[in-house]
Amino acid sequence: MTDFLHVPVLLSETLDLLNLRAMPAGRQAGNKVVDCTLGLGGHSEAILKKIGKSGKLMAFDQDETNLKKAKQRLKKFEKQVTYVHSNFENLKLKIENLKFGAPDAILFDLGLSSPHVDKPERGFSFQKEGSLDMRYDQTQELTAQIVINTYDEKKLADLIYQYGEERRSRVIARAIVNERKKHSITNTLQLADIIKAATKGKIGHHPATKTFQALRIYVNRELEVLENALHQAINALAPKGRIVVISYHSLEDRLVKNIFRYYTRDCICPKELPLCQCDFQKKLYLLTKRPIIPTGIEVAQNPRSRSAKLRAAERL
């Protein structure tokens, strides 16, 4: 039961911006909501309480362990919830196949769920020894260990720079390649020590932070998946439907900002064309001109929320 003590990030702000409501008895069906990142069910539980018995929720998670724990947490709402053991890049397909209908609200909370961080064997943390796994979906083949031990130096350096925004990526890649010539790199502490030695210690944060981020994003195709899913979500929303996205690093936040802005445009033609030829129709109104961040009180109570940024928009 201790997992259920997990506190969702920016909860009150999320609920306000999703604009949810419970319908009185005898009235039309309530809100249809999609939680694309179920995790341990913290946001979903609050959403279900908000929409009442007339509301419906579709909840995605590609991690089977998370699904089992969330189902236990949300047991009293089981008649209202459709659980989807799948990556949210399949959002459009699942909404159509399961005849869920156009959602009134869609939520993405892109942060790592607690089990991913707290279980060393998942390989997401460099604080404790664990295998270099980093997969959300344990059925996929590619792991961080395969990347670290088989990719050439240039490819390693490029992905560490691209997905971790790590300026020392070439130094780190060279150190990894030199070390694996002696023996395979198989665990998190081993990799963290290699990075620390190569970069001569800390600079503001643990020197392995950005490399671990890069590997996690690459292994799980996070940015590619997010981009595809955001386009699907925006086009799936009912009129006046809301989309809320909570991101945790600059690459995610930049992607969300750019896609939201894209759908607020009246024209997507190249600037050099004198007249519009695209017939593009804008689909979003921005609810957050700038991202909402946690208060100092929330960060003190939940340090994992410190890098969170929330953006929201409404379907026209």
> Which residue, of 219, 243, 267, is where some domain finishes?
219
For residue 2, the model assigns a pLDDT of 39
For residues 124-143, give the mean pLDDT.
Answer: 92
276 lies in some domain: yes
CATH code where residue 61 lies:
3.40.50.150
Is 133 inside any structural domain?
no
Task: Give CA separation, 171 vs 146, 174, 198, 312, in Å.
Answer: 20, 5, 7, 39
Same-domain check for residues 91 and 8:
yes
**What residues does 310 pair with on adjacent strands?**
246, 292
Domain that holds residue 71: 2-115+222-315
In a domain, 130, yes or no: no
Are residues 79 and 53 part of one domain? yes
Domain count of the chain?
2
Identify the band that residue 3 occupies on the pLDDT scale cut at 50, 70 and 90.
Answer: very low
- Please give the pLDDT value at position 181: 97
Per-residue pLDDT tens digits for 94-120: 999 999 999 999 999 998 766 666 678
Question: Does residue 123 lie in a domain region?
Answer: no
CATH number of the domain encompassing residue 146: 1.10.150.170
Residue-wise pLDDT for 15-57, tens only, equals 999 999 887 655 567 899 999 999 999 999 999 999 999 999 9
Same domain, 52 and 154: no
Q: Are strands 309-315 and 284-286 parallel, antiparallel or unpaired?
A: antiparallel
CA-nearest of 182, 181, 151 to 169 is: 151
Same domain, 243 and 159: no
Check whether residue 212 and residue 304 sit in a common domain: no
Say if residue 276's pLDDT is above 90: no
CA distances from 278 to 80, 133, 159, 233, 286 (A): 41, 45, 35, 22, 22
> pLDDT class for 61, splitting at 50, 70, 90?
very high
Q: Are residues 178 and 232 in the same domain?
A: no
Q: Is residue 121 part of a domain?
A: no
pTM: 0.92
